[in-house]
Structure 1
Amino acid sequence: MSFLTSTTHLHITTWVLALVLFFIAALASKPNKGVHMALRVMYILIIISGGALFMEWRSNIAESGMYYDMKVLFGILVIGFMEMILVRKKKGKPTTMFWALFAIVLAVTLYLGLSTGIGMNF
C-alpha cells in the first residue's frame, strides 16, 4: 500500500475535491443528495489516506510529531464542521457560527499540514 504513503498527492487530491464538493453543496439553492453522498465518500478517502500518511511519517519526523497529532485532530474537526454546515442548512437552522469555526479550523489545518516535515517550509 505504498501508493498511499509514497507522496501526498492522493491525500491532497481528495481534500481538494472534498472542498469543491462541499462548496457546491453548501452554496446550492436546494439540497442535493448526490453531491452530499459523494462528499461523504471523499471524507472516507481523506481519513484513509491521511491515516496512512500519519502512520508512515509521524515516527520518521520526531521534531514535528505533535504537529501531526494536532493536524489529525483539526482535520477531523474540518470534516465535522463541513457535515454540520450541510445538515444544519438542510434543516433550515442557522450556520453562521459553524462557517466561522470551519474557516478558522481549515486555516489551521492547512498551515499545520503544509508546514510540517512532508509539506512546505514556511
Structure 2
Amino acid sequence: MTHLHITSWALGLILLIIAFVMYKKGSKAGKILHMILRLDYLLILYSGGDLIAEYMSIGFPEFPLLGELIVKLIAGLWVIVAMEMILVKTSKSKPATSYWVQLIIAAAIAIILGFFRLPISM
C-alpha cells in the first residue's frame, strides 16, 4: 500500500502543476484536470488511511511514535487542503502565494515523517 500512496501523491503533485499552468493560461483543461485531481485526493486518502490502519495494528502501548503519526496525518490533510486552495484561488485569478508556502511546509513535514521517522516505508 505504500507504493500506491507514494504514486498517488506524486500524481497529485504533477496534476497540481499542470492544472495550475492551465488555469494561468485561461484554458478549460485546467477545470478538467482540477476534477481529476479531486478524484486523486480520494486515492490519496484511501491509501493513507490504510497505512494509518497498518500503524494502528502495531498497538498503542508498543507504538512509541503515535504523536508523530498524528502529526503526519494532519500534515497530509494540510497538503491536500493547500493543493485545493491553490487551484481555487488561481481559478479566480487571486494570489495563492500563502498556500504555496503552506504546501511546501506541510509536504516537507509529511515526507520527512513518512520516509525517515515512521517504520513502514519503502
Pairwise TM-score range, normalised by the shorter structure: 0.7 to 0.9
SS at match of 2:65: helix
Give the corresponding residue for 2:120. 118
For residues 40 and 84 of structure 2, the distance between their equivalents in structure 1, rounded to whole angstroms, comes to 12
> Given the two structures, how large is their TM-score scaled by the length of structure 2?
0.86
For 1:97, what is the secondary structure of its paired residue?
Answer: helix
The structural deviation recorded for 1:58 is 3.0
State the structure with bigger RCO (CA 8 A, min sep 6), 1 or 2: 2
Picking from 4, 28, 49, the partner of 1:10 is 4
Decide whether the 8 Å contact of 1:14 with 1:45 is kept in 2: yes
Alignment correspondent of 2:43: 45
1:52-97 Cα distance to aligned partner (Å, 9 max, x none): 1101223416021221111110000000000000000111111111
CA distance in 2, matches of 1:75, 1:51: 11
1:49 Cα offset (Å): 0.8
User: Which residue matches 2:26?
Assistant: 30
Q: Supply the distance in 2 between the matched residues of 1:117 and 1:110 (Cα, whole angstroms).
A: 13
Paired position in structure 1 for 2:53: 55
User: What are the equivalent positions in structure 2 for 1:88-99 lying under 5 Å apart?
Assistant: 88-99=89-100
Unaligned runs of 5+ in 1: 1-6
Give the aligned CA root-mean-square deviation in angstroms. 1.5
User: Is this contact kept in 2: 1:64–1:117, CA < 8 A?
Assistant: no
In structure 1, how many angstroms separate the alpha carbons of the residues matched to 2:91 and 2:4? 30
Moved over 3 A (4+): none
What is the Cα deviation at residue 27 of structure 1? 2.4
CA distance in 2, matches of 1:56, 1:118: 8
What is the match of residue 4 of structure 1?
Answer: none
How many residues matched? 114
